[in-house]
Amino acid sequence: MDDVRDLTELQLDALREVANIGAAHAATALSQMTERPTMIAVPEIKVMRLGAVSSLVGDSHQVVVAVSMHMLGDLTGRILLMVPEDDTRLLCDLLLRRDRGTTIALEELEQSSFKETANIVGGAYLNALSDFLGMMLLPSVPSLVIDEVGSVFTSGQMKLGEADDFVLCVETEFRFRDDGDRLTGHLLLLPDTASLTAIFDAIRVT
């Protein structure tokens, strides 16, 4: 496959099924870490320019904490976990077993905790895909940035590609409640075109 814009509806449906399995495992991992029930939306599959992916998350000027990981092994691409900065502080309170509202700044400890969470959630996603596809998949060491959504996708540190590149984006929105507050994040899977071909071969979709 040379261009993700050539994907058929049958292929997109197959990817949605694969994404559902990965997202469910990721949500279970997050629930265990936060001790809060985690709800996920049905994954959305979109083919779009990389520069437009930020629109899935919301206002391009919203500050988020983003963790990016390479997919290593039989598939290659990226996994990106993004959570609004305010929600990340509440999430750190849960992860570090602090009283609600304790985390004011995202210092080294908080960033390390969030990266560990992203690594576990991303690993759970990839483990589910590994089992389903019969492949070996591993996440790389995570890379973290705190920036506006629009800037995350052009960050040299993230190295996601060029703004005009067409990518296939698997978006999963997850939510859970902390004392009535709804925390929201986005998990994006950005496989490269060679990996898409490998996925379709594994599940026998042409």
- pLDDT for residue 159: 66
CA distance 145 to 65: 6
Confidence of residue 161 (pLDDT cuts 50, 70, 90): low
Contact 31, 148 (CB under 8 A): no
| Calpha distance 59→73 (Å, rounded) | 34
Does pLDDT of 180 surpass 80?
Answer: no
Residue carrying the six token digits 């379709």? 200
Confidence of residue 106 (pLDDT cuts 50, 70, 90): very high
Calculate mean pLDDT across residues 96-102. 90
Band of the pLDDT at 109, cuts 50, 70, 90?
very high
- Domains annotated for the chain, with CATH where assigned, are 4-202 (3.40.1550.10)
Q: Which of 106, 105, 122, 127 is nearest to 33 (CA)?
A: 122
Please name every residue paired with 72 in a beta bridge, in sequence order, or none if there are none: 138
Judged against a pLDDT cut of 70, whether residue 111 lies above it is answered with yes
Is residue 43 predicted with pLDDT exceeding 80? no
Q: Specify burial of residue 185 (Cβ count, 10 A radius: 0-12, 13-18, 19+).
A: buried
The arithmetic mean of pLDDT across residues 41-50, rounded, is 78
DSSP assignment string, the chain: ---GGG--HHHHHHHHHHHHHHHHHHHHHHHHHHTS--EEPPPEEEEEEGGGGGGGTS-TT-EEEEEEEEEEESS-EEEEEEEEHHHHHHHHHHHTTPPTT---S--HHHHHHHHHHHHHHHHHHHHHHHHHHT--EEE---EEEEEEHHHHTT-TTT----TT-EEEEEEEEEEEEETTEEEEEEEEEEE-HHHHHHHHHHTT--
**Reported pTM:** 0.81
Of 33-37, 65-69, 99-103, give the lowest mean pLDDT range.
33-37
Given a cut of 90, whether residue 127 has pLDDT beyond it is no
pLDDT at 1 over 60: no
Judged against a pLDDT cut of 80, whether residue 69 lies above it is answered with yes
On average, the pLDDT of the chain sits at 83
pLDDT (mean) for 3-9:
77
d(C-alpha 118, C-alpha 7), whole Å = 29
Classify burial at 75, counting beta carbons within 10 Å of its beta carbon; exposed 0-12, middle 13-18, buried 19 or more.
buried
Structure tokens at 119: 């690594």
pLDDT, residue 45, reads 81
| Amino acid 146: pLDDT | 93
